[in-house]
Amino acid sequence: QSPPGARCPLAGPRNLTCVSYKHPSVRGRLGDAGGPAAGAVRCPPGQCCVGIWNRSHALVQGCWGGRGDACPSATCAPSPAGHPGSSVLLCLCHGHLCNGNATGTAAATGGLGGPR
C-alpha cells in the first residue's frame, strides 16, 4: 500500500481501470495483479497502471501506487527496468487500460495482457 500522499499526478479519473495479468512464471502475491487470464481491475484513487514484461510477453500488469512523479504519461512508453540493456521493460501510465499497449517495443506487436 502507498504511503499517505503518494499519488500519481494527472492520474485521470478516480476509478482508473488497468489491465490485470500475472504470468504463470511470476511467483508470489503482487497486489492487484490478476491471474493467468488477462482481465481488468479498477484501481484505488490516485493509483496508475503498471506493465512489466520481457521482450516477448507480459510478466505483470495491474495498479501501481508508487511515488507521485512516477506516472507522467497517459500512454505506456516502456523503458528498461534495472541496468541499461535489461530485457525487462517497465511502464507506468495514467490512461484507462494504458498498460495493455506498449508503444515502441517488440512486445507491442504481439500485444500484452496474457500469453500468446
Can you give the pLDDT at residue 79?
A: 86
Q: Residue 71 — φ and ψ, nearest 5°? A: -125, 65
Other Cβ atoms within 10 Å of 26 Cβ, number = 13
Domain of 25 in residue numbering reads as 17-93
C-alpha cell at 13: 479519473
The DSSP H or E segment spanning 109 is helix 106-110
Residue 81, amino acid: A
Q: What is the CATH number of the domain that holds 30?
A: 2.10.60
pTM surpassing 0.75? no
The answer to whether residue 87 is domain-embedded is yes
Checking if the pLDDT of 6 tops 60, the result is: no
The answer to whether residue 32 is domain-embedded is yes
The answer to whether residue 3 is domain-embedded is no
The answer to whether residue 24 is domain-embedded is yes
Checking if the pLDDT of 93 tops 90, the result is: yes
Other Cβ atoms within 10 Å of 65 Cβ, number = 21
Contacts of 70 (CB under 8 A, 6+ apart): 8, 48, 64, 92
Per residue in 32-84, pLDDT (tens digit) is 555 555 699 999 888 899 999 887 788 999 998 866 567 888 999 888 887 77
The answer to whether residue 49 is domain-embedded is yes
The answer to whether residue 33 is domain-embedded is yes
C-alpha cell at 105: 517495443
Band (2; pLDDT cuts 50, 70, 90): very low
Share above pLDDT 90 across residues of the chain, in percent, rounded to a whole number: 22
Residue with cell 511470476: 26
The DSSP result for 58-93, as a single string, is EEEEEEE---TTS--BSSB--EE-SSTT-S-EEEEE
Checking if the pLDDT of 10 tops 60, the result is: no
Number of domains composing the chain? 1
The answer to whether residue 75 is domain-embedded is yes
